[in-house]
Amino acid sequence: MIPAQFDELRVDDVSRHFGRRRALSRITFQAPRGAMLGLLGPNGAGKSTMLALLATLLRPSAGAIRYGDREAAAYGPSLRAAIGVLGHDLFLYPELTARENLEFFAGLYGVASPRDAAAAALQTAGLTERADDPVSSFSRGMRQRLALERALIHTPRLVLLDEPFTGLDDSSAAALSRRLRGLRDAGMITVLATHDLDLAEGLFDRAVFLRDGRMTATVDRPEALRAMYRDIMSRST
Amino acid sequence: MSGFSRTVWLVLRKDFTVEVRSLEIAYTMLFFAVSCVLIFAFALVQEGRAPEGGAAGILWIAVAFAGTLALGRTFERERQSETLRALLLAPAARPAVYVGKLLGIVALLLAAEMLLVPLVALLFQAPLLAHPVWLALILVTGTIGFAAVGTLFAAMLVRARSRDVLLPVLLYPITVPVIIAGVRATAALLQPEMDAAVIRFWLALLVTFDVVFVTLSLWTFEPLMTD
Amino acid sequence: MKKWFMPAVIVCGLMFAIAPVLIAGAPYESTMGLVQKIFYVHLPSAWTFLLAAIICGVASVRYLFGGAARQDRLAWAAAELVVLFGAITLVTGPLWARKAWGVWWQWDVRLTASLMGWMVAVAYLMLRRYGGPGSDKLAAGLALFGMANVPFIYISVNYWRTIHPTTNVVPTLPTSFGVPLWFSAVSFLLLFVLLLRVRVRLEEQRAKLDAMYLSMDA
């Protein structure tokens, strides 16, 4: 499986509804390679739906998501090979060891040497010592680190992260921020949904503020996120 | 190994490893199946005598019930940390994921049948083991047919509400031919004079059912699993 | 509503008013007596039942692979009518069988297949009712499997046992029996078309309302 190649992610007037429930209305943004984009908003704002749409798990009800010059339907599985997803539910088998989880998914993604890829990922996650322990014995923070490396095991071009800071202590969160900056420098497109503004401070090239499924603001190179967030959210009510 | 068979193998091996670690499905399903057989024994055995021809039916009812339990649990496990989503997100061929899950379920059910057959034979005084090859053929083809439909339905119901009750509601009407064929063929096996022509007819029906429904499942798995 | 709808409702009402007269006027069948008259309801409802099931299956397959919401609405409406006409068929059948065969129920191929088809339709409706969002696709899959299952049920039950009177007696019925039967069949068919139309329209309106609601920029 040769992963799809694209240099830009472009979300164009996308809406998604479930029956009568409007999960997302008319969202528009774009992100070039090497950009880190933040989706910010309270719970239920539509952040996870947006990520599911970008991951091709859902199709937009209206509008288009273009990866480079084409939509998802034009790519087929090659697009899925170029996307890495860290879901809110982590996508790990608790009965399997860290190594087994990584090798399984590396195999599914057709990585040339699942064994080496898993070993490298364990190294990055700082879990080499615990590689052969089942994931069920891991703390939330360790699982989170492992899940991130699982999502990156096939070096995707587009990385989608849903609340990656959940359950991390300060030093792990700092390590995660460093890792994310590394992804940006490597030219990946990263879309990160979070409501944890302190940890995300200074991370984003662009922040998209969502509320009740709508875009309330887009800010480039945001600073003083918390104040900005409070300001934007109070304005939109 | 091609991409398709590698995915099948990976999914199957993963399910096997998970099951060997916990043995949760194997133990609960076996105990449940044995309980089913015992309830039938209490209900049907009178004055120490089992009813004529009851053994075949009881064997298949136990398989169907235990199978439903195993199907539900297998996919509940994939739902817990949304790993089924992760499987669908991978670029691997989606029908291969189906085949991997199917083989795992079939293996589990066949293991359960290894215990159920002697138990039913013992409790209902049925000569089930008199023709082991025929019996194995009937059990394997019947189990594949049941599991083929069951795996697809259980997988697609992962996205639905009330999935626990809906699985048997959807599954049993569709698998009626498998149950009829399995029970009738097993009953023919238990006759004092085994009726090979009858068994051959039912086996042919089961094989056709397996081929048709596995094909249909492979064909519909992708549209049913995606939005 | 389309122009033909109200006249058709009136015609259908009249036909159902006339049908009992025709049925009462038809000659007594010698062996079955009065009970034979159930046939004028049983057979037409069974045909309608079959027609509804075919429509549901075909529309479901087209929805599953084409994705047009119109097909989904048609399949849903047809499934409800499968349950309705199936219920009529399954209630009138045993009433007739009690007299003809001496038992309420027989595990005959057509009875069993009808019952299983009806069960699949009930399962279809339950899935849509309780399955939550996305259950439309799943229901379409179930309908496809239900359709593929019909030959297997037929063959398996047929080999197991069968005693149902075959349908080819119908064209050879004497005219005095045939006219009320065909009249009744046309009435049922018309009723089916009207109910299907109303049901599909209800879903169309609902979809339209949803679309309007969603387009409203609240």
What local confidence, expressed as pLDDT, does residue B116 receive? 93
User: For residue C102, what are its two tokens?
Assistant: 């001496």
Q: Is A87 on the interface with B (CB under 8 A)?
A: yes
pLDDT, chain A, mean:
90
**pLDDT tier at B173, thresholds 50, 70, 90:** very high
Note whether A80 contacts B227, CB cutoff 8 Å. no
Q: Do C202 and C61 touch, CB atoms closer than 8 A?
A: no
What local confidence, expressed as pLDDT, does residue C127 receive? 95
- The helix/strand/coil state of B192 is coil
Q: Is B14 on the interface with A (CB under 8 A)?
A: yes
User: What is the nearest CA distance from C214 to chain A, expressed in angstroms?
Assistant: 7
**Average pLDDT of span C14-40:** 81
Query: What is the total count of domains within chain B?
Result: 1
Residue whose C-alpha is closest to residue C31's, from C99, C104, C103, C105: C99
Checking if the pLDDT of B29 tops 90, the result is yes
How many whole angstroms separate alpha carbon C135 and alpha carbon B158? 11
State the CB neighbour count (10 A cutoff) for residue A132.
11
CB contacts of A25 in chain C (<8 Å) are: 217
What local confidence, expressed as pLDDT, does residue B1 receive? 55
**pLDDT tier at C21, thresholds 50, 70, 90:** confident
Q: Is C214 on the interface with A (CB under 8 A)?
A: yes
Note whether A18 contacts C133, CB cutoff 8 Å. yes
**Average pLDDT of span B117-146:** 92
* CB neighbour list of residue A217: distance below 8 Å, 6 or more residues apart: A208, A209, A232
pLDDT, chain C, mean:
86
**pLDDT tier at C214, thresholds 50, 70, 90:** confident
Name which of A55, A80, A87 is nearest B91 (Cβ-Cβ).
A80
CB contacts of A18 in chain C (<8 Å) are: 133
Checking if the pLDDT of B89 tops 60, the result is yes
What local confidence, expressed as pLDDT, does residue B155 receive? 95
Is beta strand A83-86 parallel, antiparallel or unpaired with respect to A36-40? unpaired
Q: Which of A56, A80, A93, A100 to mutate to test the interface with B (most CBs of B within 10 A)?
A: A93
What local confidence, expressed as pLDDT, does residue A236 receive? 59
What local confidence, expressed as pLDDT, does residue C2 receive? 76
The predicted-structure confidence for A201-215, as pLDDT tens digits, reads as follows: 888 999 999 988 899
What local confidence, expressed as pLDDT, does residue C101 receive? 80
How many whole angstroms separate alpha carbon A224 and alpha carbon B161? 42
User: For residue C152, what are its two tokens?
Assistant: 């297997």
**Average pLDDT of span C65-88:** 94
Interface of B with C in 99-118 (CB under 8 A): none
What local confidence, expressed as pLDDT, does residue A229 receive? 82
Chain B residue closest in CA terms to A59: B227
The predicted-structure confidence for C77-87, as pLDDT tens digits, reads as follows: 999 999 999 99
How far, rounded to the nearest angstrom, does the alpha carbon of residue B20 sit from its chain's CA centroid?
A: 19
Domain residue ranges of chain C, discontinuous segments joined by +: 39-164+183-212
What local confidence, expressed as pLDDT, does residue C109 receive? 79
Q: Is C180 on the interface with B (CB under 8 A)?
A: no
**pLDDT tier at B2, thresholds 50, 70, 90:** confident
Higher pLDDT, A234 or B52: A234
**pLDDT tier at A94, thresholds 50, 70, 90:** very high
Rg of chain A taking only CA atoms, in angstroms: 18
What local confidence, expressed as pLDDT, does residue C175 receive? 66
What local confidence, expressed as pLDDT, does residue A44 receive? 85
Note whether A17 contacts C214, CB cutoff 8 Å. yes
Q: Is B216 on the interface with C (CB under 8 A)?
A: yes
Is beta strand A36-40 parallel, antiparallel or unpaired with respect to A189-194? parallel
CA distances from A176 to A173, A207, B90 (A): 5, 18, 24
Domains of chain A: 34-57+77-235 (3.40.50.300)
What local confidence, expressed as pLDDT, does residue C201 receive? 94
**Average pLDDT of span B16-27:** 92
What local confidence, expressed as pLDDT, does residue C165 receive? 56
**Average pLDDT of span B172-188:** 93
**Average pLDDT of span A140-145:** 90
Checking if the pLDDT of A96 tops 90, the result is yes
pLDDT, chain B, mean:
92
Using a pLDDT cut of 90, give the percent of chain A over it.
Answer: 54
Q: Is B170 on the interface with C (CB under 8 A)?
A: yes
Touching chains, C (3+ CB pairs < 8 A): A, B
Higher pLDDT, C49 or A3: C49
Note whether B169 contacts C126, CB cutoff 8 Å. yes
**pLDDT tier at C3, thresholds 50, 70, 90:** confident
**pLDDT tier at A118, thresholds 50, 70, 90:** very high
Quote the domain boundaries for residue B218: 3-225
What local confidence, expressed as pLDDT, does residue A15 receive? 92
Note whether B169 contacts C116, CB cutoff 8 Å. no
CB contacts of A20 in chain C (<8 Å) are: 210, 213-214
Note whether A19 contacts C213, CB cutoff 8 Å. no
**pLDDT tier at C176, thresholds 50, 70, 90:** low
The predicted-structure confidence for C114-172, as pLDDT tens digits, reads as follows: 999 999 999 999 999 998 888 899 999 999 999 999 889 888 887 776 555 555 445 55
How many whole angstroms separate alpha carbon A83 and alpha carbon B86? 11
The predicted-structure confidence for B41-78, as pLDDT tens digits, reads as follows: 888 888 777 777 789 999 999 999 999 999 999 999 99
Q: Which of C214, C216, C217 to mutate to test the interface with A (most CBs of A within 10 A)?
A: C214
Give the ipTM of the model, two decimals please: 0.90
Q: Do A60 and A15 touch, CB atoms closer than 8 A?
A: yes
What local confidence, expressed as pLDDT, does residue C166 receive? 54
What local confidence, expressed as pLDDT, does residue B68 receive? 95
Q: H or E segment at A192?
A: strand A189-194
Q: Which amino acid is at A39?
A: L
